Amino acid sequence: MSRAASHSELERMIAPVVESFGLALWGLEYTPFGGSALLRVFVDGPQGVTLENCADISAQLSALFDVEDPIPEAYRLEVSSPGLDRVLFKAEQYRLYCGEMLKLRLRWPVDGRRNMIGVLQACDDEAVRVEVDGKAVVVALEAVQRARLVYTGDAPPRRD
């Protein structure tokens, strides 16, 4: 591939490799900067993720990318667990964590803010509702640049 693969093309390429290890692709972040890029691949599974899982997946992805060349510029590949303060990528992931504290960074201001921290109250395929400072704020998912759980240290977030 001479052009950079799209986000969805990268997901389609990466998911089968991750699944071959009995894990699931949680999400990925691709960040180009100064003639190179960073590709972060987050993987998860019912029993969690080990360092060995990450190393094995990284080796397999590196071999695949050497053949397919989905990223034409120099890049760094990182494979990791999403962790307790996990980034949320899809509506179904948000739904798993209703009632939990969430930090949002937005692409444009909503309710006068581009950053907010609050309790995730609800999510559908189009938007999330977050209680911020005692007020319910509805944010379109397309407005979310990054969403991350806030781990308070009391108990791990639920994962139903």
Inside any domain, residue 1:
no
Q: How many domains does the chain have?
A: 2
What pTM was estimated for this model as a whole? 0.85
Q: What is the CATH number of the domain that holds 126?
A: 2.30.30.180
Q: Which residue has the tokens 């999510």?
A: 123
Residue 159 pLDDT > 90, yes or no? Answer: no
In a domain, 120, yes or no: yes
How far apart are alpha carbons 137 and 141 in whole angstroms? 12
- Let me know if residue 59 belongs to a domain: yes
Question: In the structure encoding, which two tokens stand for residue 33, read together?
Answer: 């900067």
Band (pLDDT 50/70/90 cuts) for residue 2 is very low
The predicted-structure confidence for 4-28, as pLDDT tens digits, reads as follows 678 889 999 999 999 999 999 999 9
The pLDDT value given to residue 140: 96
CATH of the domain at 64: 3.30.300.70
Q: Which residue type, as a one-letter code, is found at position 11? A: E
pLDDT digits (tens, 9 = 90+) for 30-45: 888 888 889 999 999 9
What is the distance between the alpha carbons of residues 14 and 128, in angstroms, rounded to a whole number?
A: 27
Residues 14 and 63 occupy one common structural domain: yes
| Coil vs helix vs strand at 107 | strand
The boundaries of the domain holding residue 128 are: 87-149
